[in-house]
Chains A and B, each alone.
Chain A
Amino acid sequence: MLPSERLDYSPIVQRKRLALPGGARLAVWVIVNVEEWDINETMPRTVLTPPAGGSPMPDIPNWAWHEYGNRVGFWRMLEVFDDFRIPAVLAINGSAIARYGAIVEAAKARGWEFIGHGFSQKNMQKVADERDDIRKTAAAIRAATGANPRGWLGPGLTETWETPDLLAEEGYDYVCDWVLDDQPVVLKTRGKPIVNLPYTQECNDVAMMLIQHHKASEYRDRAIDQFDQLYADAAGSARVMALVVHPYIMGAPHRLRYFREALAHARAHPDVVFWTGAQILDWYLGQR
């Protein structure tokens, strides 16, 4: 289905007012992406290219660089969530659940929400059987947490023409791949509709650090600018702000402080709620 068939164009200034409880202006949600990189595939991202180029396999250096996030970086990030008492959303590859048991347990102990993020870290257009991938991911999360995931984020936000239809049919309530608004929107599917929550490519450490190659402090500076503008925009109608981190990027020792400082800025505002995706979804559905 084409995007224009899934939703109509809608200018944000012409919509019914959304109101958060207690007069809050902004709902902030923080998504931690935990992935498993298959050593038998091309690495999804690289920090170092081989001498004279090419892409030799296996790619041990870039595999190891990512693995650092799950061995060390994640645990450093966890302290920030604990200190600020902010629940995160764990977007996790289905295969990573069995591999990184300690991470799954830490997230469960804190009541984080688990959302599907592909069974492996592979473009959804390259997955052999998309429905099976979506289903297997839900099953892995259900086995670990006792509940079906309500949300889905495609690896690299990738979708096929069919992805929202399959997600709705497989029991998912929301998707994050459509970064087209500051408020949730409803997407039509061939069955029941699915909600899209405002995820971000802007305040996202993959785009900022690995593609745009900004200094680590730019993560904090951009997040603060983003927050201040959305906070002002929200005077008339509530807004949602997403912050996205990966343990192998913002969990590096030299970057962590900037993640903490970004959250500290948001945390200093009393009229802001820190919610999971499911909380934002349920609130939004209650507003419609």
Chain B
Amino acid sequence: MIPRDRAPYSAIVDRPPLRLPGQARLVVWTIVNLEFWDIARPMARQVLPAPTGQVLLPDVPNWSWHEYGMRVGVWRFFDLFARLGIRPTLSINARVCEDYPRVARQARDAGWEFMGHAYEQMPIHRVEDQKAMIERSLSVIEQFTGTRPVGWLGPGLTQTEETPELLAAAGIKYIGDWVYDDEPTEIHTDNGPLVTLPYTVELNDIPMMLVQHHESEYFTRRCLDTFDRLYAEGASRAKVMAIAIHPYISGQPHRIGYLEAVYDRIARYDGVLHWNGVELLDWYLKTRGEG
């Protein structure tokens, strides 16, 4: 099904505003992405292309660059969010529970929400049996945490035309793949509705650092410019600000300080909630229609 058959065009100004509890203006939704990169295949991202641009197999330099995030970078995240008392949403390739149980356990024990993010990191278009992969991903996480995920993010936000049907059939309630609004929305599938939560490709270290090649400190500037704008708009209409990070990028020693600076500045404001995806979903389902 194409997007137009799932949801009609809707201008945000034509909708009744959503309201947050207790005069809050804004929800900050933090998503930490943990991935499994299979050394037998081309790497999901590269910091260093091989000389003369040849494709390397195995691609040890880029594999190990990502692996640094699992060995070192992610522990900077755990420290930061423990200090702040924030429990992010963990977008996790299910295979991380099997191959990096130490990392997954830390997130589970810290009370982070586990969101499905495929079994391993490859575009969903290349998965031969998508239905089986989705089921496997959710089952592995459920076994690991005791809770079946209700949220899903495709690797690189990828979907095929049938992905939303398969997700809804598997019990998924919300997805992050549709970055087309500041508010949650509902989209149609043949197996019941899905809610879209406003994930982000703007405040996301992959487009910013690996595609656009911004300087590390620009992460702070862009996040705070977004915060200032959405906080102002939040006076009349609830806003959600997602921040999407990866340990191999934002967990680098030269970047982590710029991430910390974002949360330190936001902490000075009243009316800001830090929620995970399930909390956003529950609020939206309860609040919409109340006007």
Question: Residues of A at under 8 Å CB distance from B?
Answer: 39-40, 47-54, 56-58, 60-61, 63-65, 67-68, 70-72, 74-76, 99-100, 102-103, 213, 215-217, 252-257
Query: Which of B80-88, B140-148, B154-162 faces chain A?
Result: B154-162
Task: Tell me the minimal C-beta distance from B116 to chain A in angstroms.
Answer: 16
Task: Mark B210-237 against chain A: 1 for CB-CB distance below 8 A, else 0.
Answer: 0111100010011101101110010000
Whether A60 contacts B156 by the Cβ 8 Å rule is: no
Q: Is the CB of B207 within 8 A of A47?
A: yes
- Chain A positions within 8 Å of B204 at CB level: 48
* B121 CB to nearest chain A CB (Å): 5
Contact present for B202 and A72 (CB under 8 Å) = no
Contact of A72 with B211 in the complex, beta carbons under 8 Å: no
23 pairs across A/B with beta carbons < 8 Å? A51-B123, A52-B44, A52-B123, A56-B123, A56-B158, A61-B179, A61-B201, A64-B3, A65-B201, A70-B9, A70-B11, A99-B9, A213-B212, A215-B218, A215-B222, A216-B222, A217-B221, A252-B226, A253-B226, A253-B229, A254-B222, A255-B225, A257-B228
Q: Which residue in chain B gives the minimum CB-CB distance to A215?
A: B218
Judge whether B42 and A61 touch: CB under 8 Å.
Answer: no
Q: Are A64 and B207 in contact, with the CB atoms below 8 A?
A: no
Sample of 19 more A-B contacts, CB < 8 Å, known A50-B156, A61-B156, A64-B179 = A48-B204, A49-B211, A50-B155, A51-B121, A53-B42, A58-B2, A58-B159, A61-B154, A61-B201, A64-B178, A72-B12, A72-B182, A75-B13, A213-B214, A215-B218, A253-B225, A254-B202, A254-B203, A254-B223
Cβ–Cβ < 8 Å partners of B165 in chain A: none
Contact A64 B177 (CB under 8 A): yes
If A47-B207, A216-B222 touch, whether A60 touches B157 (CB-CB below 8 Å) is: yes
Return chain B residues, CB-CB under 8 Å to A99.
Answer: 9
B271 to chain A, nearest CB (A): 17
Closest A-chain residue to B13, C-beta based? A75
Is B125 engaged at the interface, CB distance under 8 Å to the other chain? Answer: yes
Asked if B10 is an interface residue, CB under 8 A from chain A, the answer is yes
Q: A49-B211, A103-B11, A254-B222 are in contact. Are A60 and B229 (CB under 8 A)?
A: no
- Nearest neighbor of B175 in chain A, beta-carbon distance: A60
The verdict on B45 contacting chain A, using a C-beta distance below 8 Å, is yes
Given contact pairs A51-B122, A54-B123, A63 touches B3 in the complex (Cβ within 8 A):
yes
Q: What 0/1 readout, one digit per residue, does chain B (106-141) give for beta carbons within 8 Å of chain A?
A: 000000000000000111011000000000000000
Q: How many residues of B contact A (CB 8 A)?
A: 53
Contact among A54, A102, A254 with B14 in the assembled complex (CB-CB below 8 Å): A102
Decide: A48 near B156, CB < 8 A? Known: A58-B2, A64-B177, A215-B221.
yes
Which residues does chain A contribute within 8 Å of B206, judged by CB atoms?
48
Contact, CB under 8 Å: A61 / B158 = yes
User: In the complex, A164→B229 CA distance in Å?
Assistant: 42
Q: Which one, B12, B45, B207, B228, contacts A71 given CB within 8 A?
A: B12
Question: Which residues does chain A contribute within 8 Å of B230, judged by CB atoms?
Answer: 253
Give chain A residues whose Cβ lies under 8 Å from the Cβ of B222: 215-216, 254
Within the assembled complex, what's the spacing in Å between the Cα atoms of A104 and B207? 31
Chain B residues, CB < 8 A from A40: 2
Most central of B44, B179, B221 by chain A CB within 10 Å: B179
Quick check: A68 and B211 within 8 Å, CB to CB?
no
Q: Is B125 in contact with A39, judged by CB distance below 8 angstroms? A: no
Neighbouring A residues of B41 by C-beta, 8 Å:
52
Using Cβ atoms and an 8 Å threshold, which residues of chain B touch A75? 11-13
List, in ascending order, chain B residues with CB within 8 A of A256's CB: 229
Contact A61 B177, beta carbon cutoff 8 Å: yes
Residues of A within 8 A of B214 (CB): 213, 215
How many Å lie between the Cα of A256 and that of B206 in the bound state? 22
Within the assembled complex, what's the spacing in Å between the Cα atoms of A47 and B211? 8
Determine whether B43 belongs to the interface, using a CB cutoff of 8 Å to chain A: yes
- Any A CB within 8 A of the CB of B180: yes
In the complex, which of the residues A51, A57, A257 contacts B225, with contact meaning CB atoms closer than 8 Å? A257
Question: Within 8 Å CB of A50, what residues of B?
Answer: 123, 125, 155-156, 158
Contact residue among B4, B10, B180 (Cβ-Cβ distance under 8 Å from A65)? B180
Residues of B within 8 A of A64 (CB): 3, 157, 177-180
Known contacts A60-B157, A215-B221, A68 near B180 by CB under 8 Å: yes
Q: Which residues of B contact A61 (CB under 8 A)?
A: 154, 156-158, 177, 179, 201
- Looking at the assembled complex, report how far the CB atom of A140 sits from the nearest CB atom of chain B, in whole angstroms: 16
User: Are A254's CB and B226's CB within 8 A?
Assistant: yes
- Are B213 and A213 in contact, CB atoms less than 8 angstroms apart? yes
Known contacts A49-B211, A75-B13, A102-B11: A60-B43 contact under CB 8 Å? no
Q: How far apart are the CA atoms of A67 and B180 in the complex, in Å?
A: 5
B42 with A52: CB separation less than 8 A: yes
- In the bound complex, how far is the Cα of B180 from the Cα of A215, in angstroms? 22
A278 → B minimal CB distance (Å): 26
B186 interfacial by beta-carbon distance below 8 Å: no
Residues of B within 8 A of A254 (CB): 202-203, 222-223, 225-226, 229
Query: Is the C-beta of B181 less than 8 angstroms from some C-beta in chain A?
Result: yes
